[in-house]
Structure 1
Amino acid sequence: MDLKQHIRSIPDFPKPGILFYDISTLLAHPQAWQATVDRLAEAVMEHKPDILAGIESRGFLVAAPLALKLGLGFAMVRKKGKLPGKTIPYTYDLEYGSDTIEVQADAFHEGQRVVLLDDLLATGGTMKAAAELLRQSGADVRAAACIIELTFLKGREGLDIPVTTLIQYDD
């Protein structure tokens, strides 16, 4: 199945000049969504994770059903102030300014093998920050996986973990 046929492109979203790759059409197609989860499961299992971590918010849509399929736990990487209880923050630089992401302090155990998931890899900044945050919490970050990669932004070049993507856009 060609998963790319199930991705909708929306021009000028969220602002003029941006072409947004929308996975909602993929999620709405049961066979395409099942094929996506199956392919990600195959890619993720080679890293032998103990738990999967999804990056807010579309990464939750990817990681949670995948964790269920694989019989693994699931943890959330969220924007600052969105998780209850004690959290571990990580602040990182953006092109203009900075952002902070967090995990719950007890989400990962020392040495626990983790694979990070998101819907899309663009510049890699958030993925890199999430990997560093998980390492600070004691996790052994083994790999990352995404449905879509915008290869022209070279996001994987800034990452020090293997990255698997199912669909690539070169421009």
Structure 2
Amino acid sequence: MNPYELISEFYAPGSEPHRIMIRHGEQVAKKALDVARRLGCGAPDLKFIEEAALLHDIGIFLTRARKIGCTGTCPYVCHGYLGRELLERKGLFRHALVCERHVGVGITPDDIVGQALPLPLRDMRPVTLEEEIIAYADKFYSKGGDAAEKPVTEILRGLERFGPDKAAVFRAWIRRFEGKDALTEPSPGS
């Protein structure tokens, strides 16, 4: 399976959404692979991480995200489960789960009900180490605008809008994947 060929099935090569998918996917893949390699003994499946990181946002074209050139009909929050459906039709069941489970730090059934999200009512939190690594790496990069890596403080501020439990998950990932506390991160440029 070639992730780039699969992306080109859904995104016109040379289009803005195609360019964004490739750039963002490569950024997430690089960060995820760096994290996975640092874990050392018992490291996760690197080939799968690279492929799944490149494909994790495959469903964005089906959403209304005009800033990144997506003119679909669904709200952006739906891109994860829509990507899952696309990849399941291709027989990529393991990759499909990454699509669904990478949004935020994962979406719970309580989140879906409590926020009246237009999502199937099921647990959409990362389960495997590979899923967690990709969800973690994804938080560092936006699809639109600046392609620079976001500082941890900015990521945490964004997650805290959805509740302290979301920021707590990310803090735990920082400790697990980086071996440091989120609050001791140096400020950008230091």
Q: Which bracket does the TM-score occupy, shorter chain normalised? A: under 0.3
Greater share of strand: 1
**TM-score (normalizing by structure 1):** 0.26
